[in-house]
Structures are given as C-alpha cells and as structure tokens.
Structure 1
Amino acid sequence: MDVCPVDCFHEGPNFLAIDPDECIDCTLCVAECPVSAIYAEDDVPASQQVYIQLNAELSKRWPSITASKPPLPDHADWAEVSDKLPHLQRD
C-alpha cells in the first residue's frame, strides 16, 4: 500500500480490495504483492475476472488503507488455495 500513489487499497476482515475507479494502473503494487495476486488491468487472467467487480463493490464498503502491514503468517498457505471466495468475509 505504501507504493500506491492514489491510496486505492481498502482493507476488509481477510481481503484487500483495490478500487478500480481510483486505481491509475501504475502497476507499482504488482511487484510488491507477496503472493503475486495483483495484476495490471490488462493482464487479469480469465479465471480472476470475477474479482474486478468484487473489488469495485468491496472497496466502496471498506476503509482505505495507506500503510503497509506485514503479510499474515499464513499468507503462503493461502497462495495455493485456488477458490478463496467461500472464505471471503464481506463484513
């Protein structure tokens, strides 16, 4: 989040959302993601397209986050989970 020049990250209980209306596609955050879960807009894989609308929805509900936090201790375990949507906490 420290690298984002427009503060478009929003933090939920167990997910970060990127506000697509605020994001300027600078891609500075792509290299910073410890599990390679962020893509440039034109590079979002077909299997991840559902997250574009989800980010738009959740970023409007969750508070902005402007300072980096260390990755969660189990972040590497979650990188291997292919279907995370059932685990998403929206509130």
Structure 2
Amino acid sequence: MKLLIAAACVVIIVAGGWYGWTEWQDAQAEKLAEAQQQEVDERAERFRSAERNRECEARVAAWDRGERARLADEFGDYAEKVVDNCRYLLAIPAD
C-alpha cells in the first residue's frame, strides 16, 4: 500500500513538473514572438519615418524652388500648410 501511495505521489509530482515546464516554455515562446513582432514594428516605423522625412524634404525643396503648382494640385488649398508641417517635422526654418 505504501508503495502504491509513493508511486502515485511520484506520478503527481512528475505530471506537475511536466505541466509547469510546458507552460513555461509556451510563455517563453510567446515572449520571444512578441519581442520579434515589436522589433519588426519598430523597424517598419523607422522606415516609414525615414520615408516620410524624404517626402517632406522633397516637398519643402520644391516649394522653396517655386514649384508650387504640383503641390497645389496634390494638396489644393492645404499645400502651404503641408509644407509648413513638413518644415516643422524636419525643423527647417522658413525662408
């Protein structure tokens, strides 16, 4: 009888350890996946930010060269505000 109780205790301890280990592994895998996704998101945001900066630099340069018709066609009455926002984003002083 003592042997049966001891065997049952061993089975319970082993099952609990196995369950805890698998839960820990799943949590670690989830954390790793979240960290990888966050890195991908941060890289994408940096790319979008760099792309946005290049677009803004081109808009400000075109505005300063007097090529305002293209921007006016693209943005209408808001073209000057778009250029001002780009200047603010890039910290380029107005002429």
Query: TM-score range with shorter-chain normalisation?
Result: under 0.3
Higher normalized contact order (CA 8 Å, seq sep 6+, divided by chain length): 1
Higher helix share: 2
Report the TM-score, using the length of structure 1 for normalisation.
Answer: 0.23
